[in-house]
Structure 1
Amino acid sequence: MLAAIAATPVAGNAANAVPDGTAIRYRHATVDNIDIFYREAGNPRAPTLLLLHGFPSSSAMFRDLMPLLADRFHVVAPDYPGMGASEAPAADKFKPTFDNLATVMTDFAVKLNLSNYILYMQDFGGPVGMRMAVRNPERVDGLIIQNSPVSLDGWDAKRLAAIQAGAAGPMTPEKRAAAAARVVQATSNLLHQYGAAHPEQLNPDSWAVDAYALNDPDKRRIMTDLQLDIPSSLALYPAWQDYLRSRQPRTLVVWGRNDPIFAPNGGDVIKTLIPTADVHYYNTGHFALEENGADIAGEIRRFFP
C-alpha cells in the first residue's frame, strides 16, 4: 500500500510547486529480481548525484534536498531492499548484508544507465557507497559524506563498544533481541530530535514515515540483520582508507556534531586522508538535512560546480 501511494503521480498545483525539471518523479525498477523504489529529479544528461540513505530511513530523507539541486544535477535516491517503499524480499530470496546491498545498488545504477555518479552517503549509505566505490572506482566522480565514518574514531565510544560486544562469540537469541530493540528505538523521535538545535521545528512526519515502514515484520527482520552485519564494515575500514588515500576523490563532508551514534569530529579523519576534502560541521544531530538542508545544498552546488 505504501509503495502504491508513493508511486502515484502528483496532479494539479502540487506538481507545479517547484520549477519545471526539478519536480521529483517516483519510480520503480526491478533489480536482481527485487522491486526497488526510487525518487528521481533533474535532467538525466546532467551530472548524477546518487543519494544513499541511512538508518532507519529511506529516500524520504532527501525529499527537500532534491529540488534544491535538480536544476544542476540528475538526482537519484533509491530505497534499499527492505526499506522505505522498496520490496522486503523473503529470507530465502535475499540475505541482508551490506555486501549484498552494495551489489543491488551497483546493479541499480547499471539498470538506470548511470555510468558515473557522485555518491552522497549518510550513515548506512557509507557502508553501501564505500563498497561501491572500492569495487568500481572509475564510476565515482566524487563523494559527499554525512555522518558516516571510515574509521573507528568516527564512532561514539559507547555505541561502538556495544556493537563490538555483540559481534564477539556466537550469535545468541539475546544478541538478536538487542539488535531488534535498537531498530525499534531508532524509529522513535529520539534519533531524529537528539542533538537538533531546534527540535521543535522538526517535522514529525520524518520519523512517522520510518516507523510506518517498519510495521512490516520482514522489514524489521532485514533491519535487524543489517544491525548485526555492521562489524563487516568495521573490518573494511583499512581498505576504505586506502581507497581514499590513493584515489583522492573530490570529497565534501557535512557532519552533524551532536549525533548520538557517531563522534562529533568524525570528518577530521577524512580530512587527514584527503587533504583537499571540504569539511563542514553543523550544530545538529544524525539527520543534518532536517535542519541544515538549504546550507548543505549550497555547499554541494559550490563544491561540485
Structure 2
Amino acid sequence: MVKAHALYGNKEKAKDPFFGLTMGSGSQSSGDVFNWFCAEAGSSSNPTVLLIHGFPSQAYSYRNVLPVLADKYRCIAFDWLGFGFSDKPQPKYGFDYTLDEYTSALESLIDAVAPDKLSIVVQGYFAPIVVKYAKEHQDKLNHLILVNPPDPLRASDKALTSSGPYMMKEEDATVYRRPYLVSGASGFALNAITRAMEKDLKAYIESMRSILASDSWNTKTTICWGLRDRWLTYDGVEDFCDGLKHNVVQLPMAGHHAQEDRGEELGNIIKRILR
C-alpha cells in the first residue's frame, strides 16, 4: 500500500541535478506531500503500534512481525523517505535527508496515520531520531521499544560505511534490491543519508542517551537486544537500563536486525511488553 502524507518542509519539487527538469514521481513532492510506503495489518479499532526500520533497511523487514501483532493491534510499518518504496527526493529539492528533517518528517507522518496514542518500535540507527520525537510528544506514547539502538560510547560507524554478508532467502533479497534496480534515485538518497548520519549521528546518539536518562522522561521504555549484533555491543546496556528502570529483553539468536533474523520471536516479545 502506498499512501501520500504531508511533509513539513519547503515543499519545492525536485529537479534533475544536471538538466533542471522535473524528476519522476518517485523523486518529487506532489504539491505539499511525499509518498510514504506503508504496510498495515490489524483492525483500525485496535491500539496502534508503529514499526520503524533502521539503516539501511525497509518496512519489509517487519514482514514476520506484523502477523503476530495483527490480532491485537493495528500495526503500521513504513519505509523512511529515501528507503524502500517511499519517495526519494533529490537533495536540495524539498528534502535534504538531515536528521532534523527526518524528525520533522516523522512528526508529520504520525500526525496523519496515528492521531491518537500509540506505541513505537524502532530498530538500530534511526532510534535517536525517534527518541528526539518522543521527547516532545510523550503524551502520545504508550510505550517505546528500542531494538539494538546505538550507544554514544560504544557505537560503531561500520554500519554506515561498510557491509558484509547477510543470509536471507533469495526472494527476500530481491525485495531489498528492487528499489536500487528501478531508479537511480535510491543511490542519490542513500549517499545523502550516509553523509548526514556521518555528520550528525553521534550528537543525536548522545542526545538520546541524555533524554532516556532525564528525570523528565516518563515514557515506558524497553530495549530489546539481538546478542549477535556485529556492529553494536551489548556491554553496558543492562547497567544503563537498571539505573533508570528501563526494561531489557535479550534475543540470543538475533543480530543487529532482530526483526529480520527472528521476526516471529520479536513479535511475541512486543506483544508481551505491550499487554
Partner of 2:60: 60
After superposition, where does 1:256-295 map in structure 2 within 5 Å?
Answer: 256-265=226-235, 267-295=237-265
Q: TM-score, normalised by structure 2?
A: 0.79
In structure 2, stretches of 5+ residues that fail to align are 8-32
Partner Cα distance (1:50, 1:239) in 2: 23
Partner of 1:31: 6
Q: 1:120 to 1:113 in 2, by over 3 A?
A: closer
Q: 1:205 to 1:146 in 2, by over 3 A?
A: farther
Q: 1:277 to 1:106 in 2, by over 3 A?
A: same
The one-letter code sitting in structure 1 at the alignment partner of 2:4 is: A
Partner of 1:210: 176
Q: Displacement, 1:126?
A: 0.3
The one-letter code sitting in structure 1 at the alignment partner of 2:269 is: E
Note if 1:301 corresponds to 2:233: no
Partner Cα distance (1:81, 1:133) in 2: 19
Q: Displacement, 1:257?
A: 1.3
After superposition, where does 1:47-86 map in structure 2 within 5 Å?
Answer: 47-86=47-86
Partner Cα distance (1:222, 1:205) in 2: 28
The one-letter code sitting in structure 2 at the alignment partner of 1:148 is: P
Q: 1:121 to 1:269 in 2, by over 3 A?
A: farther
Matched residue pairs, number?
244
In structure 1, stretches of 5+ residues that fail to align are 1-25, 164-178, 194-201
Partner of 1:139: 140
The structure where helix makes up a greater share of residues is 1
Partner Cα distance (1:206, 1:102) in 2: 29
Deviations along 1:61-108, one digit per CA (max 9) or x if unpaired, are: 111110110110110111111111010112121111122112111110
Q: Among the aligned pairs, what percent are the same residue?
A: 21
After superposition, where does 1:110-149 map in structure 2 within 5 Å?
Answer: 110-149=111-150
| Greater shift in the superposed pair: 266-275 or 125-134 | 266-275
Partner Cα distance (2:173, 2:236) in 1: 24
Partner of 2:99: 98
Secondary structure of the residue aligned to 1:102 is: helix
Asked whether the equivalents of residues 211 and 217 of structure 2 are also in contact (C-alpha less than 8 Å), the reply is no
Computed over aligned residues only, the root mean square deviation of the Cα atoms, in angstroms, reads 2.4
Asked whether the equivalents of residues 43 and 70 of structure 1 are also in contact (C-alpha less than 8 Å), the reply is yes
Q: 1:212 to 1:66 in 2, by over 3 A?
A: same
Q: Displacement, 1:51?
A: 0.9
| Greater shift in the superposed pair: 51-60 or 29-38 | 29-38
Secondary structure of the residue aligned to 1:236 is: helix
Partner of 1:253: 223
Deviations along 1:5-37, one digit per CA (max 9) or x if unpaired, are: xxxxxxxxxxxxxxxxxxxxx231232122111
Partner of 1:172: none
Partner of 1:241: 212
The one-letter code sitting in structure 2 at the alignment partner of 1:124 is: Y
Partner Cα distance (2:61, 2:262) in 1: 12
Partner of 1:18: none
The one-letter code sitting in structure 2 at the alignment partner of 1:284 is: A
Note if 1:107 corresponds to 2:108: yes
Q: Displacement, 1:238?
A: 4.4
The one-letter code sitting in structure 2 at the alignment partner of 1:31 is: A
Secondary structure of the residue aligned to 2:262 is: helix
Partner Cα distance (2:243, 2:143) in 1: 14
The one-letter code sitting in structure 2 at the alignment partner of 1:102 is: T
After superposition, where does 1:143-158 map in structure 2 within 5 Å?
Answer: 143-149=144-150, 151-155=151-155
Q: TM-score, normalised by structure 1?
A: 0.72
Partner of 1:20: none
| Greater shift in the superposed pair: 247-256 or 211-220 | 211-220
